[in-house]
Amino acid sequence: MKLFLDSANLEEIREVAGWGVLDGVTTNPSLCSKENASFEDNIRAICAVCPGPVSAECVSLEADEILVEARGLARLAPNIAVKIPVGLEGLKATKALHAEGIAVNMTLIFSAGQALLAAKAGARFVSPFIGRLDDVSEDGMALIEEIAQIFENYRFETEIIVASVRHPRHVIEAARIGADIATVPYGVMEKLVRHPLTDLGIERFLADWRKVKK
C-alpha cells in the first residue's frame, strides 16, 4: 500500500520523506491555510521534495472555471494531481482533464455512487473521507470496502485514497481491505511507528548491555 502524507507543511513532508516511506502528498485549502508561504510557492516546494503525486485543490465550482484553475495548478510541477470536489461540474471538468492527461483526485467522496461516477469520468484517484463519516456515526471503512469491490468488479484503474484518517487502526484496516493508498496526517504517521513495548525493550537491552563484559 502506498502512504501519502496529508499535510501542506514542508518540514513534516521532508521529515517523512527521510523515513523512506513517502509515496505522495495531499493538501487541501484548510491545510494550506496553516502555512506561511504563498500557496503556489509552497506547492512547488512540496513537489520538489516529494517525487510522487502531490494533490493541490481547485476552489472553483463551475466546470469552465475549474478547468482554467486545474490547468494552472498542473503547470506548477509535473507531479501535480488536481483535487476537485465531486459534483456535476467537477465530473465535467474531470472528463476534460483526463483527456488532456492531467491527473484528477476527486475529493469529498462520501458514497460509493460518487466514487463510481468519478472513476467513470476518468479520475486517477478518489478520496473517500472516512473519519468524517465515522464522526456522524456512519462506517467509513465499510465505504472503502464497497468502493474497492466495485472498482475490482470492473477493473477501474482509479486508485482509492483513504482520506480523513484519524488513527493508526484506520491505516491498518485500509491495508487489510487492500486500499491502494492511505493519506495520513503527520501525527498518525508517527503513532504508526511507535509502540510502548518497543521503547521498553530498547531500555532493557541498553540496561543489560551495560552489564556485558567488554
Catalytic residues: 83
What CA–CA distances, in Å, run from 134 to 29, 138, 172? 22, 5, 16
Query: Counting contacts by CB under 6 A, is residue 94 touching ligand G3P?
Result: no
What CA–CA distances, in Å, run from 154 to 114, 119, 150, 176, 211? 16, 10, 7, 21, 62
**Binding span for ligand G3P by CB under 6 A among 43-51, 71-79, 124-132, 205-213:** 124-132
Which residue pairs, CB below 8 angstroms and at least 24 apart, start in 140-143? 140/164, 140/170, 141/170, 141/173, 141/174, 141/177, 143/110, 143/111, 143/112
Kindly state the number of chain residues that form the binding site for ligand G3P, as judged by CB under 6 A: 10
CB atoms near residue 145 (< 10 Å):
17
Q: Which residue in the set 58, 117, 163, 174 belongs to the binding site for ligand G3P (CB under 6 A)?
A: 163
Query: Counting contacts by CB under 6 A, is residue 72 touching ligand G3P?
Result: no
Structure-block grid coordinates of residue 91: 465530473
Of 28 and 94, nearer to ligand G3P (C-beta) is: 28
Q: Which residue in the set 132, 173, 177, 190 belongs to the binding site for ligand G3P (CB under 6 A)?
A: 132
Query: What is the full DSSP assignment across 127-155?
Result: EEBHHHHHHTT--HHHHHHHHHHHHHHTT
What CA–CA distances, in Å, run from 152 to 16, 22, 125, 158, 186? 31, 25, 14, 10, 30
Q: Which residue in the set 52, 72, 87, 131 belongs to the binding site for ligand G3P (CB under 6 A)?
A: 131
Of 96 and 126, nearer to ligand G3P (C-beta) is: 126
11-70 binders of ligand G3P (CB under 6 A): 26, 28
Compute the least distance from the CB of residue 134 to ligand G3P, in Å.
Answer: 10
Compute the least distance from the CB of residue 107 to ligand G3P, in Å.
Answer: 7
Query: Counting contacts by CB under 6 A, is residue 183 touching ligand G3P?
Result: yes
Binding site for ligand G3P (CB under 6 A): 6, 26, 28, 127, 129, 131-132, 163-164, 183
